Structure 1
């Protein structure tokens, strides 16, 4: 099937990623006059006939519309948001850093340095994300400041790979639900890099082994 124009796909991606509410999406859907022409009467009627109060609405909607969407675009948009959160040190910095570890474990191996080197620590320390939200702004800034230089550099590198086409996201998963992608990086670019740290007398050295890589990445501990 032909994919929808990007501007229409984005509306579905936004509701999937909870950037807009179901209610706002529903209002947009009823007012989008071009959609029926693009997907055909049957699919359009199936879509507008859905119960948008149903708690499983996203799943039901996906069965109707997903064949018209390019999930490589969805993944690219998702990953770029996470990487820009880290580079620009946004309010979602901690959440996005934890996400890099989850993405690495879900098949995006090019997040090895970022996810295993930095994201894993945050994922362990803030397994319950409410623990992060309970910190004062000063405590949050202290925790971020220790690693920000290294995180920003690594995030910028991954973003450059995506923007330059060295990493091409397909939006597909394999038989064990790991994300698939096309990797056009050189062998040198695929090698693990030394994790950058900042020396302070309050920080104790912590050593993390990266599984199956045969490499030890040295990380610094955190403020208590």
Structure 2
């Protein structure tokens, strides 16, 4: 499936889009029917998007159509590029990277800041004050973890070269929820 369509469907299922935004997109996306097929498309447009349970229904409809492998590879490499060039605010960068790690991409845990994010006293987040500038926050991180950006770039290269293969497969665990799988060579 088209990566842009996959992204919007995935964003809706993961609550990054409101029902109103999603409904507007569904009815304006000209390629959606050809991407989903007539049966799934009809099922999708038949939903009442004001019903809060429709996200679950949308997930059931599109789950096997979304190419999570390409979507996640694309999103993760773009995120790493933005973090390394400091295009995103410090706290947002760390939170987004942690969320990817938490969704199953544990290769990110090689970066201590992410791997120890939830352990009190070990995360550099505890050293950060709200009054600091972004540059001051990044400086604290680099002082504590000097290889942060190098390790991120190394991970990005491994993803791009296929040495970390994002499979697009996932499993549901009772404790962790939806966990995506990968293969690291």
Could you tell me the TM-score, scaled by structure 2's length? 0.74
Counterpart CA distance in 2 for 1:51 and 1:106 is: 29
Which structure's CA Rg is the greater one?
1
Q: 1:36 to 1:105 in 2, by over 3 A?
A: closer
- Give the match's secondary structure for 2:169: strand
Unaligned runs of 5+ in 1: 185-224
Q: 1:61 to 1:133 in 2, by over 3 A?
A: farther
Q: Which has the higher contact order (CA 8 A, sep 6+)?
A: 2
Once the two structures are superposed, what CA deviation does each residue of 1:153-203 show, in whole Å capped at 9, x if it has no partner?
Answer: 11111111111111110121246454321222xxxxxxxxxxxxxxxxxxx
Which of 77, 83, 88 is residue 74 of structure 2 equivalent to?
Answer: 77
Per the alignment, residue 144 of structure 1 pairs with 138
- Structure 1 residue 6 displacement after superposition: 2.8
Per the alignment, residue 181 of structure 2 pairs with 180
Once the two structures are superposed, what CA deviation does each residue of 1:28-48 show, in whole Å capped at 9, x if it has no partner?
Answer: 211223322343332112101
Could you tell me the TM-score, scaled by structure 1's length? 0.63
* Structural RMSD (CA): 3.2
- Residue 118 (1) aligns with residue 113 (2): yes
User: How many pairs align?
Assistant: 174
Unaligned runs of 5+ in 2: none
